Amino acid sequence: MQLHTIWFIVITVLWIGFFVLEGFDFGVGALHMFIGKSEAGRRVAINTIGPWWDGNEVWLIVAGASMFAAFPGWYATMFSALYLALVLLLVALFGRGVSFEYRGKRESQRWRNGWSWALTIGSILIPLLVGVALGDLLHGLPIDSRHEFTGNFFSLLTGYGLMTGVTLLVLSLLHGATFLALRTTDEIRDRARAAGRVIGVVAIVLDIAWCIWTLVVIGGGTVPQPTQIFGVIAVIFATLLASTENDGWAFVASGFAIAAVIGQIFIALYPNVMVSSTNDAYNLTVNNAASGHYALVVMTVVVVLFFPIVLLYQGWSFHVFRRRVSAPPTSSG
Amino acid sequence: MANDLARWQFATTTIYHFFFVPVTIGLAFLVAILQTVWYRTDNPDYKRMTRFFGTLLLINVAIGVVTGLVQEFQFGMNWSTYSRFVGGVFGAPLAMEGILAFFLESTFLGLWVFGWDRLPKRVHLACIWAVSAGTMLSAMFILVANSWMQHPVGYKLGSQGQAVLTNVWALLVNPTFVWGYAHVILASLVTGCLVMLAVSAWYLRKGEHVESFHRTAKVALIVLIPTIVIQLSVGNQLGEIENKYQPMKIAAAEAQWTNCKPCSFSAFQIGGGNNDKTPTEIIPIPHLLSVLATGTWSGPVTGLDELQTQYEAKYGPGNYVPDVFIQYWSMRVMAYLGSLVLLLALWGGWLLQRNKLRSSRLFLWISVWAVITPFLMNTAGWLLTESGRQPWIVQGLQKTINANSPSVSVTEIWISLAVFVLSYIVLAWADLALMLRYSRRGMAHADAEAAEPAAGGAPALTY
């Protein structure tokens, strides 16, 4: 296998890792006001992801930086094409990223509500926008022979891109609900499960519709792909399990459902990395967008040596805070 | 126009980002020291101070992290031609930064913040040191990347004219990197020390929590004194390196239009700039420029006019002189404020030795206000480095004017610039409000956190 194909796989894994890990953070962020209800409940919800969300977000940064390093052409075309969408994404990332740390630092209810809204809106916008971006890679954007984007902001709003965004948003909500059910106790856990059941039904419908649309976009005929079948089964399981005591398995299933969507996009994309809707000959591919061989060798060595260590300590951090979170009996927040 | 706007946006967002970065690097290190002292001595005072300054660190980290995202996105968004050209070299250190530094920093920060009552003391202490190491590693990879723009090494040009990495080791031993990195880390430590000193001095002046803040003022001064001494000589050394590889940068920093040998250094000048080659120099100090730029008593410095002629012969017609006004004054802001900080540190050390630190109201008052100086110096340093490289984005290989994204319109950049500026104002307001509030009232909070949790009760929620 050639090195640029290996790096395409590495980048796919990073995007999957980002959405599986940060997906539940988005879900919790978007749902915390509604499932938490009281101030104490909201804090419980936020604290379920407290130790991890920042480390999970690094997967996004590493995915972006790896695209820059391994496929400069891909990074350059994609990031300049998605210009205004990324500005919006960054604002969402500002509001959400700061809200965790700032929200609880003042006793004022207005201050806390403000940051709660920043967290909610940010957590909805990010998976939606990133989903649109990933969908657009596969659907294709107007790109010329020099690999420059020739459209404008509205060219980014492709039907398939929007569908991908909404699907990933709803799957993130489901993932957040199963995560909250797994990490909390009593009423919050009950409410999270109830939410999981409702969101799950919507997610099943969207996931199936998205799979069909994907087949249309890639011209793959009427036979569903293995990843798609796997993904739909996972989302059905997540929804069914959300009604039972099996919080852990429901969470695993919702994670697989997200992984299947991201995996499917990248599998369908290869060997392209970004499709040109202007002309197939202008597609960016793993060949024409890649860095030199030596740079890829260096990066491969770094990943092989250090990524297992990252997985170890990140896994350890999940292990340390595995206990369910509940509000202290006397605390008013 | 699009190019100018993209530059304005990059400068604005980068300067802003770099208000927070050195505080994070410096404070993370100092908080790790405080916690180590607590671990060794078991003195609860150090625990409450660890928590107090730890909270200031966290408030600051939050903004450093989110504004850093803009930095990573911006290369591709606004500088796609540059990204296409350099990605094969420049991208690798950024990816390494993510894998080696960001994961370390953020995962262990989470463990540290939430792990107070769950991790064994020793392991918990190791977490804050891992955070500190992460912040310094992150700066390392950024400086590797940036130094390549100042002095490209370890590459060849590929079939489409793009830069191709040929020797990663060359990037790591690039003299511009080695000295530049030392300079940035020391600057960060100076920043952290001056922040800690300022907050401590504020409390000492008010006469509240005197014992605790006397300890932190002492820690800050003990780290600050050697750091600022080394920093002044490292800065000097970096000047020599830059004079070797980017002579325009240093000649412009001295507004030196003509060749000279020996060369004097002007303390101030009136007028000057790219259109005024004969400013009124105030207090010329003989030989000093020779010493600073070449390390010898009478070393020659090539003037801007001569360099311009050389560059035109080598690279074709064009203007290769950077903004002389920015260079001249940013150099002086760093040198003069750095010297003042050295005096302040020595004064503090002297007071400390005589055990008069808590009673010298003038020193304490100055120390509070001295917190502004590192931010001015840090900004001046990057202006000198980045503006001094112009018109190049990568020295000798690509000009800034040719590097922006052809597909991004002027309107789009206006929108993004406005959005970023507004967002950054809101973030600055929230950050300052919390920082000041916590600096002033945070002790009660730190004490509450430092108290052992009641037996049998659920652990307190952190966020």
The pLDDT confidence band at residue B449, using thresholds 50, 70 and 90, is: low
> Would you call A68 an interface residue with chain B, using a CB distance cutoff of 8 Å?
yes
Tell me which chain B residues have a C-beta less than 8 angstroms from the C-beta of A57: 106
pLDDT, average across residues B413-441: 90
Question: Quick check: A98 and B427 CB within 8 A?
Answer: yes
Tell me which chain A residues have a C-beta less than 8 angstroms from the C-beta of B64: none
pLDDT, average across residues B376-398: 94
**Helix-then-strand count for chain A, H and E:** 11, 2
CATH of A3-318, one of 3.30.70, 3.30.160, 3.40.50, 1.20.1630: 1.20.1630
The full set of domain ranges for chain A reads 3-318
Residue B441 has pLDDT above 80, yes or no: no
The pLDDT confidence band at residue B160, using thresholds 50, 70 and 90, is: confident
Choose among A54, A105, A150: nearest Cβ to B106.
A54
Within A37-108, residue ranges assigned H as helices are 39-49, 53-70, 72-81, 83-103
Residue B9 token pair: 């946006």
For position B312, what pLDDT does the model report?
Answer: 93
B423 Cα to chain A: minimum distance (Å): 7
The pLDDT confidence band at residue B302, using thresholds 50, 70 and 90, is: confident
The pLDDT confidence band at residue B460, using thresholds 50, 70 and 90, is: low
Q: Mean pLDDT check: name the lowest of B280-284, B324-328, B398-402.
A: B280-284
pLDDT, average across residues A33-48: 89
For position A330, what pLDDT does the model report?
Answer: 46
Between A and B, how many residue pairs show a Cβ–Cβ distance under 8 A?
245
Residue B243 has pLDDT above 80, yes or no: yes
Burial class for B437, CB neighbours closer than 10 Å (0-12, 13-18, 19+): middle
Question: Quick check: A83 and B458 CB within 8 A?
Answer: no
Residue A185 has pLDDT above 90, yes or no: no
> Would you call A329 an interface residue with chain B, using a CB distance cutoff of 8 Å?
yes
Tell me which chain A residues have a C-beta less than 8 angstroms from the C-beta of B96: 299, 302
Interface test with A, best of B99, B116, B124 (most A CBs within 10 A): B99
Tell me which chain A residues have a C-beta less than 8 angstroms from the C-beta of B63: 98
For position B200, what pLDDT does the model report?
Answer: 94
Q: Does residue B334 sit within a domain?
A: yes
pLDDT, average across residues A44-67: 92
> Would you call A6 an interface residue with chain B, using a CB distance cutoff of 8 Å?
no
B358 Cα to chain A: minimum distance (Å): 30
Tell me which chain A residues have a C-beta less than 8 angstroms from the C-beta of B88: 69, 72, 291-292, 295
Q: Does residue B42 sit within a domain?
A: yes
3 state DSSP class of A325 = strand
Round to whole Å and give the CA distance between A207 and A256.
12
Round to whole Å and give the CA distance between B383 and B378.
9
pLDDT, average across residues A309-317: 94
Residue A50 token pair: 């407290």
For position A75, what pLDDT does the model report?
Answer: 95
Q: Mean pLDDT check: name the lowest of A47-61, A144-158, B252-266, B270-284.
A: B270-284
B102-140 residue pLDDT tens:
999 999 999 999 999 889 999 999 999 999 999 999 999
Tell me which chain B residues have a C-beta less than 8 angstroms from the C-beta of A53: 110
Q: Mean pLDDT check: name the lowest of A5-9, A146-150, A266-270, A325-329.
A: A325-329
Cα nearest neighbour of B123 on chain A: A320
Q: Does residue B343 sit within a domain?
A: yes
For position B254, what pLDDT does the model report?
Answer: 85
Question: Quick check: A317 and B416 CB within 8 A?
Answer: no
For position A218, what pLDDT does the model report?
Answer: 86
For position A275, what pLDDT does the model report?
Answer: 92
B397 Cα to chain A: minimum distance (Å): 17
Beta strand B265-270 with B163-165 is unpaired
Choose among B70, B107, B419: nearest Cβ to A314.
B107
Tell me which chain B residues have a C-beta less than 8 angstroms from the C-beta of A72: 83-88, 91, 162
Q: Mean pLDDT check: name the lowest of B63-77, B180-194, B440-454.
A: B440-454
Residue B456 has pLDDT above 70, yes or no: no
Q: Look at residues B91, B129, B187 and name the one whose alpha carbon lies nearest to residue B385.
A: B187
Q: Which of residues 146-205 of A touch B (CB under 8 A)?
A: 147-150, 152-153
Q: Average pLDDT over chain B, rounded to whole? A: 90
pLDDT, average across residues A290-297: 92
pLDDT, average across residues A154-171: 95
Q: Look at residues B181, B167, B41, B199 and name the one whose alpha carbon lies nearest to residue B97.
A: B181
Interface test with A, best of B55, B81, B84, B172 (most A CBs within 10 A): B84
Tell me which chain B residues have a C-beta less than 8 angstroms from the C-beta of A15: none
For position A329, what pLDDT does the model report?
Answer: 53
Question: Quick check: B102 and A306 CB within 8 A?
Answer: no
Question: Quick check: A292 and B415 CB within 8 A?
Answer: no
Choose among A103, A148, A331: nearest Cβ to B460.
A331
Q: Mean pLDDT check: name the lowest of A36-45, A159-168, B47-56, B336-345.
A: A36-45
Residue B414 is part of which domain span?
A: 2-246+323-450
> Would you call A122 an interface residue with chain B, using a CB distance cutoff of 8 Å?
no
For position A225, what pLDDT does the model report?
Answer: 85
Q: Look at residues A294, A292, A271 and name the one whose alpha carbon lies nearest to residue A283.
A: A271
B396 Cα to chain A: minimum distance (Å): 21
The pLDDT confidence band at residue B288, using thresholds 50, 70 and 90, is: confident
B133 Cα to chain A: minimum distance (Å): 14
Percent of chain A whose pLDDT exceeds 90: 73
User: Is A199:A174 a contact under the CB 8 Å cutoff?
Assistant: yes
Question: Quick check: A73 and B84 CB within 8 A?
Answer: yes
pLDDT, average across residues B58-82: 93
Round to whole Å and give the CA distance between B175 and B143.
11
pLDDT, average across residues B353-360: 89
A7 Cα to chain B: minimum distance (Å): 12
Number of structural domains, chain B? 1
Residue B348 has pLDDT above 60, yes or no: yes
Question: Quick check: A79 and B73 CB within 8 A?
Answer: yes
For position A331, what pLDDT does the model report?
Answer: 42
B332 Cα to chain A: minimum distance (Å): 35
Distance set, CA B143 to CA A144, A329, B50, B151, B172 (Å)? 34, 49, 29, 12, 10
Round to whole Å and give the CA distance between B326 and B213.
39
